Structure 1
Amino acid sequence: MESRWKLTTAVVLAATAATFANDAAAQDAKQERASADSPVVFGDIVVTATKRSENVGRVPIAISAFSGDQLKALGITETTQITQHVPGLQLNAWSPNVTIFNLRGVSQNNFTDYLESPVAVYIDDAYMGSINGVSGQLFDVQRVEVLRGPQGTLFGRNATGGLIHYLSTDASNATFNGYATAGYERFNRRMLEGAAGGSIAEGLRFRVAGRIARADGYVKPQAALPGVFESNGQALGGENGWALRGTIQADLGERGTLDLWYKHSEDNGVATGGYVFDNCDLTASGYCATDAAGLSNGTGGVINAITGEKASPYANFSNLRGSLDRDIDVAQAKLLYDLGGAKLTAITNYTWLDKVYAEDGDATPLDLIGFGTTAKYRQFSQELRLSGDAPRFRWQVGAYYLDMKIRGSSLTSGVPALSAAVATGLDGTNPAIDDDYNLRSKNWSLFGQVEYDLADKVTLVAGGRYSKDTKRVDYRSAVTSGGATVELGSDESFAALRPGVDRISDGDWAARVSLNFKPNADTLLFASWNRGIKGGNFTLSPVVDVANFQHGGETLNSFELGAKWANADKTVRLAATAYHYIYDNYQAFAIINFVPQVRNSDARATGVEIEAFLRPAPHFNVNLGATWETSKVDFVSTAGTAVLGVLVPGAPAPQYCTDQGDGTYGCAYPSAGVTDAELPNSPRFSVNYVLRYDVDTSFGNVAAQFDGAWYDDQFLEVTNGASSRQSAYNVSNASLTWTSPDDRFSVEVYGRNVFDTVYRQYTLNLGPLGTTSMYAKPATYGVSATVKW
């Protein structure tokens, strides 16, 4: 790891040295800064949301977009940090291991490695099919776009909830340019990043960029009962990763360009995989109280699971050490070529991801739940697209192919394995379930979209996509207890009960129709219908019913009304969208009998989003966003039955459980489900805000910024258990930035979560085992310095 520090440091220092070697050119290029307005103006940006370049105010889609300079002003250095600045977007995560984005309440909270998210993530025009590969360091960014609502027509299946697109700075700039940034933050967080690029020869350019970050954890180890239950010594929530990216761009005559990319990133021995023990009403049995649906229903906050006393959300009592090791490599090519009557786009992507992860799943110093996974993920995708313009008519058609392979394993020990061990006649001593799988997924699709000007001010947009999914899984599961091993199930055993249940071969279609009215150059009104789709998948557990081994694909019909407006001098920009969702076969996630499962249900949601970008005076920017949403999921399965080991001999059995006289309790929960649940991470109201003021002086520009977001009460799980309810909270950030008169040097001092708000960013309701949670970082503060050329 130290050698990689040296490598990345060398890249940055070399780039810095090149700054001074090119001092004269830099001074000529940036002699004067724009004096009338702030260099960071939000809300006006060119995007590629429709796979063609357009100003965001002219695209009939609910979009939030940020340039690289805007992201820097917001202090965003990780892919997941954009959530505070996008209406309707939230993050559900406990570690870099798995990243779950939620848009308008649409998400997939299951943490298993082989599932895909309904909020598609694209990186430099290529789909990232693994939720293991979404989190990471964000650096040298050209733009980030967030598209809300189904985007299946142009971007494919699994964009039911929307799309997040990260676009890196390419090698299109022939002038030698770049930057270097170093920073330090609370919890010993150290960061170094830089980029350099320019011309190699006539028609050939390059760019290389890298970033490295290390940090200590903010959840500190603590003994649950000194002398009896000691700490594992691990601080959680730290960082230990680096990334390097290189690209070459070649001109193909006057008609085309070819971009070649290679990207590598690593996380090495990251201290993660632990939680706090949250919202448990401890009973005499040693287990937590539950409701009739088998959900833990405490509301008292974090406790020490051994003593029952109140505890800090930033204390780690676990006995098992967690960790994450992850490598990601991406090779990609993008070809743009003007054929004369049409423009060709071809994007080829290869992705390799390897991950090893371990966690203490119970947030206690007891051996209740141990969990570990490995995953080897391979992806190939190819997109071919033709587009053209004609009078009153714009069109594009294309074909797409995606091949994903994931070979993985999981090892679950403790209480979740006890039921399986007892059911197979084993003695229940140190039970563990070992699952191995090999999942192969292929998808091909054909798509097209047209824009036709019905009149000077009226445009009809219509598009469609047909997608075909094929999946096949090879699966084995075995339980080990007391030195003996018994096979629990396999894809063959499920297929014997229901032939074909281990395979999926489904075709479906996505569609879009939008009617747009532009009464003037600065106003857009639109009404649209979008049909989004997400493919089905499997629940790889030997104890699920055969009917639930496979869950079906989901369909979302979205009806939207929107308006975008700006005044003549662009000092006021407004965007508003109202939507209604009809969700068929929503893939609802829950822990059922201690097994993570997905089952289909129907759902509805209605909401409104508003964004305002104001410049009330020169150098003063105000961004405001607000959302309102109401939602309902018809039915979500929860616990039905469970087997628990006796923790406190002689104590009364937990509610809904009976002592079976063999050292176990048999539990039966009468409700076994929740009706009319709210979608997860969908507060009734939310507000986000940015206030930025800068002033030019003889010694440079000084900018002060205050930003953040407020969220109403919300459930962090679709099961809506009382213990997963997050009360309303606000998180705010502040920064002060100095930039030199020539725009070459800048220094920023900042604070994140400056009011030290305590809030959860993840919960998992484990019924009588309580709720495990991960709290977001407390107040942090830091400084960074940048040199550009």
Structure 2
Amino acid sequence: MSLIRLSLASVSLLALGAVTAPALAQEAASQAETADVTATGTFGDIVVTANKRSENAQRVPIAMTAYSGDQLKALGVTDATQITQQVPGLQLNAWSPNVTIFNLRGISQNNFTDYLEAPIAVYVDDAYMGSMNGLSGQLFDIQRVEVLRGPQGTLFGRNATGGLIQYVSTEASRAEFNGYVNAGYERFNRRAVEGAVGGSLTPGLRFRVAGRVTKADGYIKSAAALPGVFDGNGQDLGAENGWALRGTVQADLGPDGTLDLWVKHSEDNNVATGGYVFDNCNLQDNGYCTTDAAGLGNGSGGVINGITGERASPFANFSNTPGLFNRTTDILQGKLQYDLGGVKLTSITNYTALNKSYQEDGDALPVTVIVFQTQARYKQFSEELRLSGEADRFRWQTGAYFLDMKIKGTMATIGAPAVGAALAAGLPGVNSAINEVYDLHSRNWSVFGQAEYDLSDKLTLIGGLRYSKDTKSVDYSSSVVEGSQSAPIASDESFSATLPGASRISHGDIAARVTLNYKPNNDTLLFASWNRGIKGGNFTLNGYVTADTFQHRPETLNSFEGGIKWSNPARSLRVNATAYHYIYDDYQTFALIGGVPQVGNSNAHATGAELETYFQPNKHININLGATWEVSRVDTVQAAGSQFLSVLVPGASVPQYCTDQNDGTYFCNYPAKTVSGARFPNQPRFSLNYVVRYNFDALAGNISAQVDGVWYDKQFLEVTNGQSSLQPAYNVTNTSLTWTSDNDRFSLQVFGRNVLNQAYRAYTLNLGPLGTTSVYARPATYGVGATIKW
């Protein structure tokens, strides 16, 4: 009974298929950053470019968290997605490297489709990464990471509704020969080597080359669902197998300018991923899980074995079809900075090409019920031109931006969903597949400006405006294929025939900012701001949506914030606090409606506060604490509606809200057609992050002991807020012990991650009566590392 029930559960996984100055100024900013960090210990202030010019983070009127490269090393961050634990309000939702979804203050792309753009913009070396396929990856030789909370659309523009994350690589600004090599090993046979080398080639010309290689076995172990009958496939999921290489050259253009050229390449090859576990199902005698009135699973029983129905480990893989993930990314980029005589010109040009292929066993069973395959070819070109200048009391920036993105992809769904589609189309339904092909083209151009005016020595007014125009078009078709026969399901032409213009979007809107700063003294900044963020509409590429749900509308966020940044005169204590209120118009929601994934729109609002403290009572101790509080409400999210279910156990009780059709099916009509008052996904009411670090001199060097981590209150992992997607409160604690030589050339580290071995979900999809699919994050790991610098 459990096998049949969970086989049907997997059917619903069809949803898964269906600024600155030239060289001398840059060097001065780098020196200022080093001085700031040294002045307050390992986790001190750093210089950031949140306003696209170098400033101390404590003087920027934006709720933000920034870490230097050394700070990231102390925290053990080696992947672009690992920064979440020490950034208040930031979380990650991911089931594999296939798609990465950042969540900031509860704002995220709460959808698993990889052709959409997220409302948390990600920038790498000043260039926007438009594809969710390209957000995960190796993090190495990094200068700093900045996380800006709240809308940042004035200067950064596109889809920075909820905020942005900016990764800044170490540039080729140092003339002396320098570099490092780091190697590490940890549990699950994870091996990593990274290094960098750079220096002067000739006077006025410098270079830097950096790279990283990582390999690891999976932590979700292949297991036999029924030994001797249904054995495992031998693939352990959650593995790593990738490398990345980055080269940059910086040239001085006389005394007034610099030119930076970047070449980046990364690969992930045959990564073992693409599988799930079933959990939180209250199993009934009819083979289905209980639901609430909205058709959402309301169980809390934990992970189960799909064959026996017994409790199972969240780190067991019962699938029979191996998953895989392959990705290559190539980036060419140039940055020109030139002083035109009181006016500074900045030009940033980026070209990105990304190819991805992915396969998953979507049923978590040792029989083939559903296999999903996807391929995507993504290309983007962007250009930003910016002018900036300043006078005694006035600072300004203005510019223009252009972005052209193309993504061509295919999706194939094999198994039970395709059988049903084939039978409905009059095909035999023996060896069928649902094939989908799409070509999505998106263009954006914008013009922007921001100005700061000192009303007095203590009071500053900031205003910014950006007009952005989106133009999108899609060619889409879906069909069921069996051998040489095929039958159409839907296409952009069929949707446009019903609703003219369904496959085209043209929309312009304005992002804006007004901020008032008050500096009563050199150690205190008070600010109040209004920010208007925007995110464009897009398409739901699924053959079973209707013409009027093929598109979803753009969303708009009005944010009202107030905050304080304070430090004592000795700079041994810093306190940053922010309070905010969000008003969302047409917030983009995601739900499974009748088993079909769809994006809709709803109004929403949220209120929250954040607190960060950095305390260094003496040169030996650092204590960092961060805390968040937030309440939110999404007015309405469309619920499951109605659906048909097969009769699994004749004569058993009829599932609640369903009626027996006497033809081998149930028709389920859930009375709650919408979910009202839901909370944002991945939004705990409270959270707390912490770092406690103690260092002392010994063994011809310095030894530092560190404990860091994060605690999250309970939270829903989906915007529908079904009970089975509720993640209980949990804590992740990490530890490390590091020795660094007196000359800072050598270091050794032993560490542990998630040392309390907390089992918590990184991803969940509530499938109503068919169960809940989840992926659990990595359990406790421990390892060693060593670094040599020169």
TM-score by shorter chain over 0.5: yes
Deviation, structure 1 residue 680: 0.3
Deviation, structure 1 residue 659: 4.6
Contact 2:754 2:779 in 1 (8 A): yes
Deviations 1:78-102 (A, max 9, x none): 0000000000000000111100000
The 1:38/1:60 distance shift into structure 2, 3 A limit, reads closer
Q: Give, as a single letter, the amino acid of the residue that structure 1 aligns with 2:710.
A: A
Contact 1:687 1:709 in 2 (8 A): yes
Q: Secondary structure at the match of 1:519?
A: strand
- Name the counterpart of 1:256: 257
**C-alpha separation between the residues in 2 aligned to 1:625 and 1:360?**
39
Matched ranges for 1:99-118 at <5 A: 99-118=100-119
- Name the counterpart of 2:179: 178
- Name the counterpart of 2:479: 478
Contact 1:463 1:512 in 2 (8 A): yes
**C-alpha separation between the residues in 2 aligned to 1:554 and 1:37?**
43
Q: Give, as a single letter, the amino acid of the residue that structure 1 aligns with 2:283.
A: L
TM-score by length of 2: 0.93
**C-alpha separation between the residues in 1 aligned to 2:554 and 2:157?**
14
Contact 2:154 2:464 in 1 (8 A): yes
Deviation, structure 1 residue 594: 2.5
The 1:736/1:373 distance shift into structure 2, 3 A limit, reads same
Matched ranges for 1:14-413 at <5 A: 40-413=41-414
**C-alpha separation between the residues in 2 aligned to 1:357 and 1:668?**
35
Deviations 1:455-503 (A, max 9, x none): 1100000000000000000000012469852101110000001100100
Q: Give, as a single letter, the amino acid of the residue that structure 2 aligns with 1:505.
A: S
- Farther-moved stretch of structure 1 (521-530 vs 291-300): 291-300
Q: Give, as a single letter, the amino acid of the residue that structure 1 aligns with 2:293.
A: A
Q: Secondary structure at the match of 2:81?
A: helix
Contact 1:362 1:369 in 2 (8 A): yes
Contact 1:362 1:769 in 2 (8 A): no
Deviation, structure 1 residue 333: 0.3
The 1:74/1:283 distance shift into structure 2, 3 A limit, reads same
The 1:284/1:64 distance shift into structure 2, 3 A limit, reads same
The 1:479/1:283 distance shift into structure 2, 3 A limit, reads farther
Deviation, structure 1 residue 287: 2.9
Deviation, structure 1 residue 295: 1.4
Q: Secondary structure at the match of 2:748?
A: strand
- Name the counterpart of 2:691: 690
**C-alpha separation between the residues in 2 aligned to 1:725 and 1:606?**
21
Deviation, structure 1 residue 199: 0.3
- Name the counterpart of 1:8: none
Deviation, structure 1 residue 541: 1.1
Deviations 1:627-686 (A, max 9, x none): 000000011113223234454455445433445455544433222321110000000000
Gaps of 5+ in 1: 1-32
The 1:291/1:428 distance shift into structure 2, 3 A limit, reads farther
**C-alpha separation between the residues in 2 aligned to 1:526 and 1:39?**
24
The 1:534/1:572 distance shift into structure 2, 3 A limit, reads same
Deviations 1:322-343 (A, max 9, x none): 1100000000000000000210
**C-alpha separation between the residues in 1 aligned to 2:776 and 2:637?**
25
Percent identical: 69
Deviations 1:374-424 (A, max 9, x none): 100000000000000111000000000000000001112345446644544
- Name the counterpart of 2:556: 555
Deviation, structure 1 residue 564: 0.3
Contact 1:416 1:594 in 2 (8 A): no
- Name the counterpart of 1:433: 434
**C-alpha separation between the residues in 1 aligned to 2:44 and 2:232?**
48
**C-alpha separation between the residues in 1 aligned to 2:374 and 2:614?**
44
**C-alpha separation between the residues in 1 aligned to 2:236 and 2:681?**
28
Matched ranges for 1:331-730 at <5 A: 331-417=332-418, 420-421=421-422, 423-426=424-427, 429=430, 432-480=433-481, 484-648=485-649, 651-660=652-661, 663-697=664-698, 699-730=700-731
Q: Give, as a single letter, the amino acid of the residue that structure 2 aligns with 1:468.
A: K
The 1:635/1:394 distance shift into structure 2, 3 A limit, reads same
Deviation, structure 1 residue 112: 1.1
**C-alpha separation between the residues in 2 aligned to 1:333 and 1:672?**
51
**C-alpha separation between the residues in 1 aligned to 2:415 and 2:654?**
19
Q: Secondary structure at the match of 1:455?
A: coil
Deviations 1:127-160 (A, max 9, x none): 0000000000100000000000000000112100
Deviation, structure 1 residue 372: 1.5
Contact 2:38 2:44 in 1 (8 A): no
Gaps of 5+ in 2: 1-33
Contact 1:48 1:54 in 2 (8 A): yes
**C-alpha separation between the residues in 2 aligned to 1:680 and 1:483?**
43
**C-alpha separation between the residues in 1 aligned to 2:323 and 2:519?**
55
Q: Give, as a single letter, the amino acid of the residue that structure 1 aligns with 2:526.
A: L
The 1:276/1:630 distance shift into structure 2, 3 A limit, reads same
Q: Secondary structure at the match of 1:223?
A: coil
Contact 1:590 1:638 in 2 (8 A): yes
Contact 1:434 1:479 in 2 (8 A): yes
Contact 2:40 2:616 in 1 (8 A): no
Q: Secondary structure at the match of 1:570?
A: coil
Q: Secondary structure at the match of 1:717?
A: coil
The 1:155/1:322 distance shift into structure 2, 3 A limit, reads same
Question: Aligned Cα RMSD in Å?
Answer: 1.8
**C-alpha separation between the residues in 2 aligned to 1:447 and 1:582?**
23
Deviation, structure 1 residue 433: 1.8
- Farther-moved stretch of structure 1 (372-381 vs 631-640): 631-640
Q: Give, as a single letter, the amino acid of the residue that structure 2 aligns with 1:330.
A: I
**C-alpha separation between the residues in 2 aligned to 1:681 and 1:254?**
49
TM-score by length of 1: 0.93
- Name the counterpart of 1:7: none
Q: Give, as a single letter, the amino acid of the residue that structure 1 aligns with 2:131.
A: S
The 1:110/1:728 distance shift into structure 2, 3 A limit, reads same
**C-alpha separation between the residues in 2 aligned to 1:297 and 1:428?**
33
- Farther-moved stretch of structure 1 (424-433 vs 359-368): 424-433
**C-alpha separation between the residues in 2 aligned to 1:183 and 1:38?**
30
**C-alpha separation between the residues in 1 aligned to 2:636 and 2:430?**
36
Q: Are residue 771 (structure 1) and residue 772 (structure 2) matched?
A: yes
Deviation, structure 1 residue 369: 3.0
**C-alpha separation between the residues in 2 aligned to 1:304 and 1:722?**
20
Contact 2:41 2:616 in 1 (8 A): no
Contact 2:525 2:566 in 1 (8 A): yes
Q: Secondary structure at the match of 1:152?
A: coil
Q: Give, as a single letter, the amino acid of the residue that structure 1 aligns with 2:721.
A: N
**C-alpha separation between the residues in 2 aligned to 1:564 and 1:418?**
60
